[in-house]
Amino acid sequence: MNIAKFLISRTMKRKNKRLLIFVLSSILIILGMYLILKNASKNAMFFLEPSELLQSKKLYIGKEIKIGGLVALKSLKYNKNEIQFYATDCKTQILVLYTGVLPNLFREGQGIIAYGKYNGEFILATRLLTKHDEYYYPKGSANKRNTAKCK
């Protein structure tokens, strides 16, 4: 039976029409919310810390990952087209190789998030993001911005 004809039919009571419209719209809303949440959970990708990555390294070999931590002090090396550094969470560290333009805030002791493939030994990053604190200090201010350092 065609739903449109059923809704328009004069034999159906007004109360039943409203109930049918409510049920159908509720089903559509629930279906839409389900599709949105399912798609969002696929795209949500939280970053790992180096110690978490090394604890379960077999799970991540050959996969795209996000790793977050600090650029280890005195680990930054520049080659011809490649930057190499260690990302650390003050417990362990992992080598990151990156080819591309560095973000402006990138330096030793700075928080970073690196996107890339993990091969079991190092991360070949395709994208780097720097993290910064939420405080703003104008130039010449008495407050100096401290970079995070492992103790």
Residue 55 and residue 83 share a domain: yes
Residue 26 and residue 78 share a domain: no
> Please, how many CA atoms are within 13 Å of residue 133, restricted to the half-sphere of its CB?
10
pLDDT in tens, 86-141: 999 888 999 999 998 888 888 888 889 999 999 989 999 999 988 876 666 666 65
Question: Is residue 138, in this structure, part of any structural domain at all?
Answer: no
Give me 72's structure tokens: 């280890």
What residue has token string 């973000």?
Answer: 103
Number of compact structural domains in the chain: 2
Question: Is residue 15, in this structure, part of any structural domain at all?
Answer: yes
Residue 55 and residue 33 share a domain: no
Residue 38 and residue 55 share a domain: no
What pLDDT is recorded for position 14?
77
What pLDDT is recorded for position 117?
93
Q: Give me the mean pLDDT over the 48-73 stretch.
A: 88
Q: Give me the mean pLDDT over the 74-93 stretch.
A: 90
Question: Is residue 97, in this structure, part of any structural domain at all?
Answer: yes
* Radius of gyration from C-alpha coordinates of the chain: 26
Rounded alpha-carbon distances, angstroms, from residue 92 to 54, 56, 104, 108:
8, 13, 25, 16
Q: Which domain holds residue 28?
A: 3-43
pTM of the model: 0.65
Question: Is residue 141, in this structure, part of any structural domain at all?
Answer: no
